[in-house]
Amino acid sequence: MIPFRLDELAELLGGELLLPADTDARTVVDGGVETDSRLVSAGSIFFALPGEVTDGHLFAPAAVEAGAAFVVCREDLGLEVPQLVVADGLEALGELAREVVARVRAGGRLRVVGVTGSNGKTTTKNLLRAILAEEGPTVAPRDSFNNQVGAPISMLRIDHDTRFLVVEMGASGAGKIARLVSIARPDIGVVLKVGLAHAGGFGGIDATEEAKAEMVVELPETAVAVLNADDDRVARMAGRTAARVVTFGQAPGAEVRAEDVEATAAGTRFTLVVDGVRRPVGLRILGEHHVMNALAAIAVVRELGIDLDRAIAAIEAVPRAERWRMELFERPDGVTVVNDAYNASPDSVAAALKTLAQIARPEGRRTVAVLGEMAELGEYAQEEHDRIGRLVVRLDIRKLVVVGDAARHIHAAAGLEGSWDGESVLVADADAAYDVLRDELRSGDIVLVKSSNSAGLRFLGDRLAATGADS
């Protein structure tokens, strides 16, 4: 983080500064900001925040022991380092991020890109990071740091040398993205897709659309809104922003367009059409749905004035979307495992199943889908799990293993499709699924493992990928 004096932070965040004896209020702190005591290092600033499972105040002593130089908390914890007592630690974290971004932006060098959407945020962020890091100092979130805590922490990693900041913005309800936009003030705001991911929490697809639109509604006319022309709900956001609109997609009118998309086990190829130029692009990332993420990234860097050939070379070098996202493993026994179980929504499961069918078709390989629950769908849960079961049949996936009672409607729907001569098995948990597959898999099979993070199937995918695993 950029340097601040302790008294300056107290004034900025509106808290009570508690200083150990012989500590000067003008002492400067400039360490990394953390909310997880396990990530603290010497000089860190630790925000003790209450969480869903535990309370960060319980871990403040451990943070100090690990080297934290300053703690922001809601009460005096009797620590041996300076403390700032504030009424709302989350609010203080956001305000600090707002000030840091504003100060760095004042230098005239920083460009900020915000990315949201029901699917594809992390992949698009990773592609942008790959391109922008070749152009200058770039900060982008680690993992999926995209909520009201993770996004500000990512913003706080910038310094006066940072040229590009990419902020991934997720939301659990109305107003969340708007707050992150107000903090980061993106020069370019990207909306990838409006889908049913977390629809149960939002209260439906219309509410999800409203929440995602927050990315572009407050953008000034000097900014750019990058919108998915293939998604009607995203495309109509063009009428809700003062920003200049740039579109991407496979639709004929998209300004940054893909044609001739082809997905194989080696990656995904397409022809990029932009500004009257056609360029072949070969992604190492598996799945045609990632073409949209690549188009969004190219649309952004086009606005930043980055050379198209350099941008293509950068995204072509990205080996995978992210850990546990369409991650491909080739076992020595000829079995291919695609581990895509970091998260799941109806759209992402459908896309993964279509990719499974596409990459198996040329060689006639047997397809196996291992599917768990798609969480946070609320009233849509049964209908959407049913739809996925029917899609498995329509794509002629040869074997289906459904894991957990919460996903049982996938199994039931597939079994009711009389035209299908594949096989569906419902098992209680990941261990049971492993036992079934250990004896079933044979050379040439392609196995997709897909579920929401809460189902834990990403570890089953790792286990299946491991050579000689027998436990």
Q: Is 44 known as a binding-site position?
A: no
State the Cα–Cα distance between residues 221 and 243, nearest whole angstrom: 4
**Residue at 463: amino acid letter:** R
Residue with tokens 């005096």: 76
**Dihedral angle of Cα 87, 90, 96, 97, to the nearest 10 degrees:** -170
Determine contact, residues 115/281, Cβ cutoff 8 Å.
no
Angle between helices 290-303 and 308-316 (to 10 degrees): 150
Residue with tokens 């509410």: 207
End-to-end CA distance of the chain: 45
Determine contact, residues 236/225, Cβ cutoff 8 Å.
no
State the Cα–Cα distance between residues 333 and 331, nearest whole angstrom: 5
Q: Is 123 known as a binding-site position?
A: yes
Q: Is 120 known as a binding-site position?
A: yes
As given in the structure block, the two tokens for residue 294 are 């690549």
Q: Is 122 known as a binding-site position?
A: yes
CB burial readout 335-359, b (16+ within 10 A) else e = bbbbbbbbbbbbbbbbbbbbbbbbb
Determine contact, residues 351/369, Cβ cutoff 8 Å.
no
Q: Is 116 known as a binding-site position?
A: no
Q: Phi first, then psi: what are they for 251, rounded to 5°? A: -65, 145
With a CB cutoff of 8 Å and minimum separation 6, the contacts of 388 are 346, 349, 350, 353, 371, 374, 410, 413
Q: Is 182 known as a binding-site position?
A: no
Q: What angle do CA 364, 369, 373 make, to 5 degrees?
A: 160
Q: Phi first, then psi: what are they for 29, rounded to 5°? A: -120, 140
Beta strands 277-283 and 244-249, pairing class: unpaired
Give me the sheet containing 224-228, strands edge to edge: 138-139, 164-168, 111-116, 188-191, 224-228, 244-249, 256-264, 267-274, 277-283
CA atoms 107, 108, 109, 111: torsion sign: positive
Binding-site residues, in ranges, read 117-123
Could you tell me which residues are annotated as the binding site for ATP?
Answer: 117-123
